[in-house]
Amino acid sequence: MVRILGIESSCDETAAAVVDDGYRVLGQRVASQVDLHARFGGVIPEVASRSHLEAIFPVIDDALAEAGCTLADIDAIAVTTTPGLVGCLLVGLSAAKGLSLATGLPIVSVNHVHAHIYGGIMPSMMGADGERVDPTWPLASLVVSGGHSSLYESRGPSEHRLLGRTIDDAVGEAYDKVSAILGLGYPGGPVIDRLAQTGNPKAYRFKRTNIDGFDFSFSGLKTAVRYAARGPNARRGAPLLDDIVPADLAASFQAAAVDILAAKLVPCAESIGARGLVVCGGVAANSALRTRCQAEADTLGIPLFLPPMALATDNAVMIAGLGAEHAFAERWAGLEVDAAPRAD
């Protein structure tokens, strides 16, 4: 048995969790900074790292308390080291190093994007009798968040080959920008998702940008929404046109975004002979994307692995989960391990 304390601070969530054997969750806490950043319409890195600094130890204490254990019961500390905002990553990493120095516990270094994929499959790992059940590999994994829109061939819990990525905006970023265009605030994903449910997805015909291979592009779609909302060639800050229907714009944007993602996920899964699909990251909370991916998986005759809402956005359960894989393989990180804003 391996019991991991996971620590996550790569962006705007400070989180800690205690997980046994990579799938049994004993305790978890997330301190979200969403309200703090909403005032600025996006994440301000300096504000984020200061806030992590205040939250990190209370969050760790709360996760341990919920798990009913102390550091003496932990076998290793898993911490996100890449990718993310470097000042934010350093807060979690420094906390992990401090705890490691004080207790002698080893550290494992976790890639945040790979952890999102792990978070997608993790709920399915709990067998009927509580035993661990691993998925059948390979899986086609779609990571969609505020910072990523990437497709991977996943051959194991920590074996992921990048097959495609966005060449410009991430899809979550496009959601946030469309929300800003409509004056609906930050983060945009949940607002647009809700609004889209009352709109007509066929009201506007936005072009589905389809570039070569398995790469994505979302900046053209975002610009098309701006022109539809504010007039052709409208500059930033131009007022909204009088006759627009925000719900129709939201629904039409969302339909295009989901089409663009599905248009790459399905051929990618076919090309690698995937035995399942994983859709994870903050945008995996999106209702239209979830429904569409389930339909595609059913057509392909393979399972869809989706994180529950709490594991879709940033959390430390997925960090502790993937951390267990590294601990099983004894891939320890020394105290010299550093934070890296980019993973490649």
d(CA 248, CA 270): 33
- Among Zn ion, ligand KG4, none, what binds residue 175 when CB lies within 5 to 8 Å by partner kind? ligand KG4
- Residue closer to Zn ion, measured from CB, 22 or 147: 147
**Of 18, 277, 313, 326, the one binding ligand KG4 by CB under 6 A:** 313
> Does residue 169 bind Zn ion (CB under 5 A)?
no
Could you write out the three-class secondary structure of the chain? CCEEEEEECCCCEEEEEEEECCCEEEEEEEEECHHHHHCCCCCCHHHHHHHHHHHHHHHHHHHHHHHCCCHHHCCEEEEEEECCCHHHHHHHHHHHHHHHHHHCCCEEEEEHHHHHHHHHHHHHHECCCCCECCCCCCEEEEEECCCCEEEEEEEECCEEEEEEEECCCCHHHHHHHHHHHCCCCCCHHHHHHHHHCCCCCCCCCCCCCCCCCCCECCHHHHHHHHHHHHCCCCCCCCCCCCCCCHHHHHHHHHHHHHHHHHHHHHHHHHHHCCCCEEEECHHHHCHHHHHHHHHHHHHHCCCEECCCHHHHCCCCHHHHHHHHHHHHCCCCECCCCCCCCCCC
- Is 187 a binder of ligand KG4 (CB under 6 A)? yes
Q: Please tell me whether residue 189 binds ligand KG4 under the rule CB under 6 A.
A: yes
Q: Given the complex with ligand KG4, which of 79 and 300 has the nearer CB atom?
A: 79
- List 67, 283, 293, 304, residue binding ligand KG4 (CB under 6 A): 283
Binding-site size, Zn ion (CB under 5 A): 2
Q: Binding to ligand KG4 by residue 296, rule CB under 6 A?
A: no
Which tokens is 168 given?
A: 């410009």
Q: Per-residue x/- marks for ligand KG4, 190-209, CB under 6 A? A: x--x----------------
- Binder of ligand KG4 out of 22, 282, 307, 323 (CB under 6 A): 282
- Smallest separation, CB 311 to ligand KG4 (Å): 10
- Residue of 20, 153, 314, 325 that binds ligand KG4 (CB under 6 A): 314
Q: Which of residues 297-336 bind Zn ion (CB under 5 A)?
A: 314
Separation of CA 4 from chain center = 20
- How many residues lie near ligand KG4 (CB under 6 A)? 19
* For ligand KG4, the closer CB: 139 or 283: 283
Closest to 211 (Cα-Cα) out of 263, 283, 255, 143: 263
Binding mask 230-249 for ligand KG4 (x = CB under 6 A): --------------------
**175 lines the binding site for ligand KG4 (CB under 6 A):** yes
Question: In the range 4-63, which residues lie near ligand KG4 by CB under 6 A?
Answer: 11
Site string for ligand KG4, 108-147 (x = CB under 6 A): -------------------------------------xxx
**Binding-site ranges for ligand KG4 (CB under 6 A):** 11, 145-147, 172, 175-176, 187-190, 193, 281-283, 285-286, 313-314
**Binding-site ranges for Zn ion (CB under 5 A):** 145, 314
